[in-house]
Structure 1
Amino acid sequence: MYKKYFYVALNMTAVILTRNEKSFTLQIEVPVDSDNMLSSEDLLQDALNEGGRLATGELLQRFEVPNHDPVVLRGQKLTYKHQVAKRYETPYGAFTFERAVYQGHCGGVTWSPLDHNAHIIGAATPKLAKMVSWKYSKIPAPAVAEDLESNHGRKLALSYIKHLSDAVGFLVEDHTYDEYDIPKLDEPVSSIAIGLDGTCMLLCEGGWREAMCGTISLYDASGHRQYTIYTAAAPEYGKSSFLGHLEHEIRRIKDRFPNAHYIGIADGAKSNWCFLKKHTDYQTLDFFHVSEYIGAVAQALFPDNEKQREAWLEDRLHRLKHKMGAASRLLRELEAVDLPKKTTANVEKLYKAISYMKNNQSLMRYYQSVSKNWPIGSGVTEAACKTLVKQRLCGSGMRWKHQSAAIILGIRALSQTKERWEQFWERFMAVHRANEPVSAF
């Protein structure tokens, strides 16, 4: 039943002793350097990697079509042609394996049942693809290569790391795999906050452009955030791809939690509210943006008295959060202010605050939000801009092509949303199993 496979540079310190349909027994010989623990551990790592290559070869051969039976793929009958050697990349090292290839009666491209059934991505096993793409989404390719070699005993070219991550990224962008489940929550969902914001990154073509981030946060009745869905998109004109994906997530959440209160939270950018008003019942201007404007007025009012400045600011912000109608009263107060020092800078601070509050009065009903334990800040979304975009894509000297940035952001959003990275791989494997060809002749 089991055919022979061969390795590149195999030292034969690992052997398979027994095998059956359900398992096999692997024996590994580990050299020991009795004078140096670190050296012994390196020898152990090498032996384990060799055992991993041997075991992976054993696993791979079990995904072949038995007896070279013909198969049907997309309605076409394929028959066995011959054996072809292929180099496979695994977390434990590379090895070459002879596998069967099939072809239609009219010739054309050959097809490998083993690659299909084992879910090989290019030449990589799923485990290696998962590991490398996750690392590449967190750190640059040279750092990934250094980590793999130093900590796993694996040498991979920088170009291979990027190409393998790109392949996984294209799968992430395929909506076949994006019907994700919400993990079990401790408390019932009472309110759901939807936010979006942008942050700049540098593209190879187009210079500095705005990448978008969106968040959907689930809160219980006491205002505790239980779960957040993260989305992100590389810079694009019109933001249609980003908004379409965010709308898809919102529809799925509303199907799951139709009775929750939906709150839109963002800064004062008009484009944000055009989107949020379509998808939320209640909209709130980010309280901390308002605080910055009021804080600037406090500096203009009390330029030489820090104690008075802090007391005035604390009182006005407290009123905004806990007193009904406080926003309109504060606006009237600011319009009547007589600045002690009418410098250009101080006058500008005052009029910017007045203009900001006039334009956003309807979004500043903080008393109602606080009394119902609804969120009033967009910190979750602003943090997403930093953790999804800035930390990975805005390093010193970094420039990005649009597609490369989109792939990394897709993987980062997936891995940052609790349990989605694992669910993606589960769905990827399940969809492939559902599409497996069957022996029919």
Structure 2
Amino acid sequence: MDSRIVELLEACFGEELSALGGDLGALEDRVTVLMRECGQGLLQRVVSKGSAGYQGSTLACSCGRWKRFVGYRSKHLHTTVGWIDIQRAYYHCPSCRTSDYPYDRSSGLGSESLSPGLAKACCTLAVGSSFNETSRMIEELFGQTVSPRTVQRVVHHVGSVALDQHRRNLELFREHRAPPACEAPPKRLYIAADGTTVHEREGWHESKVGCIRWEDARHRLQQHYVGGFENSERFGHLLWWQACRCGFRQAAEVVYLGDGAAWVRSIHDKHFRRATFIIDWYHAQKHIWDCAKVLWGEGKNETAQWADRCCRWLWKGRTRKILKELTERRRRCRGRKREAIEDLHRYVKVNQEQMRYDVFRAKGYVIGSGMVEGACKHVVGDRLKRSGMIWSRCGSSATLALRICWLNHEWDPLWQQKPLAA
């Protein structure tokens, strides 16, 4: 800042600040408040001197007629430095009765009273915190009071814009079959898919989550996410589209991790056939332990011994040994126990090729689903599954889309589109 401006500010506020003595914290707090008040006044003066969207006496209307300049209309706007008033040019089409404020469109103003800067701050905090917490943090950081309800409305609006953008990208791909470009193809790309439930007003519903992981040229770990309440077909296209952006088509090796669920397998078979499909180690172990608990009961020594033995065989890729053990044990069991054995036998037999863990480990592949299990928690659980949270479908979808946009480092491009005005 120009030293003359600093000297002028010191002349205005120096006596008041000197009275605070050597308390740096108190000085800092007071200077922050004073700078906010100065910023509010400066912003008001600069905005008041502008044309405020006046573009002549008439404007072309989308109906083919002309919108006429009626006059100026006031808007009370809440910014990061306080409230200001804006007089904007107002146009009206007498034919289709459309109203228009060109200044609002060019400045990215929406129906809410929040400025783009304050709305962006609310959304930035709300991708990781509840609406109540965000309201408190906005007051602490900016000295502005924004109600939790206002935060919620803004997040839902901007998140819906992000969601619509993703859907448009998908529709463009499906229409033109043109995959997105990749800047730096990785040597090995991991793709994982899983699902987690979210409590909505209509009950618990599954959100599908995808995670794409790779090392960049500097050996730094990179991750991108996909998530939503889409059906498996649409989610598969979204995951494929994001994977292409991360280098799926150019990568030397591709590994696909999942739990073996039908929808996870169908996405692999349709979009990622060239990828090595691995049933993640956690889910494979869980199936064995679930069967063992049915056979001997929870917490029994026999349960742990049998499950550990089968897991050791599985670790070495000896799925035939497990199938033989299950076949022999099935002859001696009836009822619920036999059903559990048959379920595990079917699971192992169907997924034998995806359970060659000895081969996968020899190639240096990650066999655990930590990346996708972590993604479910990081992307969905940490924001949408907190204690007591019950969502509307619109709210959960929009908030999830906004959070993924943040995690994928697509934040600034989103706000460059002026989402409040969309």
TM-score past 0.5 threshold: yes
Secondary structure of 1:268 counterpart? coil
Q: Distance in 2 between matches of 1:144 and 1:100?
A: 33
Q: Distance in 2 between matches of 1:81 and 1:155?
A: 34
Q: Distance in 1 between matches of 2:258 and 2:143?
A: 46
- Given that 1:298 and 1:312 are in contact with CA atoms closer than 8 Å, whether structure 2 keeps it comes out as no
> Which of 270, 274, 291 is the aligned partner of 2:266?
274
Residue 34 in 1 paired to residue 24 in 2? no
Q: Deviations over 1:235-285 (max 9, x none)?
A: x6x45554443343245456x743543332110212211122111123111
Aligned length: 395
Q: Give 1:215 deviation, angstroms.
A: 1.8
Q: Give 1:152 deviation, angstroms.
A: 1.8
Give percent identity, aligned residues only: 22
Secondary structure of 2:20 counterpart? coil
Give the alignment of 1:46-85 within 5 angstroms: 46-58=33-45, 60=47, 64=51, 68-69=55-56, 71-72=59-60, 74=62, 77-85=66-74
Give the alignment of 1:353-432 within 5 angstroms: 353-417=344-408, 419-426=409-416, 428=417
Q: Give 1:289 deviation, angstroms.
A: 1.6
- Given that 1:191 and 1:220 are in contact with CA atoms closer than 8 Å, whether structure 2 keeps it comes out as no
> Which of 250, 258, 272 is the aligned partner of 2:250?
258
Structure with the larger helix share: 2
> Which of 188, 198, 201 is the aligned partner of 1:201?
198
Q: Deviations over 1:204-231 (max 9, x none)?
A: 1x21221221222235799x77322212
Letter in 2 for 1:218: W
Q: Distance in 1 between matches of 2:181 and 2:37?
A: 39
Residue 245 in 1 paired to residue 238 in 2? yes
Which is further off, 95-104 or 306-315?
Answer: 306-315
Q: Give 1:125 deviation, angstroms.
A: 2.4
Question: Closer, same or farther in 2 for the Cα pair 1:64/1:264, shift >3 Å?
Answer: farther
Please, what TM-score do these two structures have when normalized by structure 1? 0.74
- Given that 2:258 and 2:369 are in contact with CA atoms closer than 8 Å, whether structure 1 keeps it comes out as yes
Which is further off, 43-52 or 295-304?
Answer: 295-304
Give the alignment of 1:221-370 within 5 angstroms: 226-234=221-229, 238-239=231-232, 241-253=234-246, 257-280=249-272, 281=274, 282-294=276-288, 304=301, 315-316=312-313, 318-320=315-317, 326-332=318-324, 335=327, 353-370=344-361
Question: Closer, same or farther in 2 for the Cα pair 1:308/1:401, shift >3 Å?
Answer: closer
Please, what TM-score do these two structures have when normalized by structure 2? 0.77
Secondary structure of 1:396 counterpart? coil
Name structure 1 gaps, 5 residues minimum.
1-16, 19-24, 321-325, 436-441
Which is further off, 87-96 or 27-36?
Answer: 27-36
- Given that 1:92 and 1:152 are in contact with CA atoms closer than 8 Å, whether structure 2 keeps it comes out as yes
Letter in 1 for 2:222: Y
Secondary structure of 1:108 counterpart? coil
- Given that 1:264 and 1:277 are in contact with CA atoms closer than 8 Å, whether structure 2 keeps it comes out as no
- Given that 1:121 and 1:129 are in contact with CA atoms closer than 8 Å, whether structure 2 keeps it comes out as no
Q: Deviations over 1:412-437 (max 9, x none)?
A: 111112x22223224x159x9xx9xx
Q: Which residue of 2 aligns with 1:217?
A: 213
Letter in 2 for 1:292: K
Secondary structure of 2:400 counterpart? helix
Which is further off, 113-122 or 144-153?
Answer: 113-122
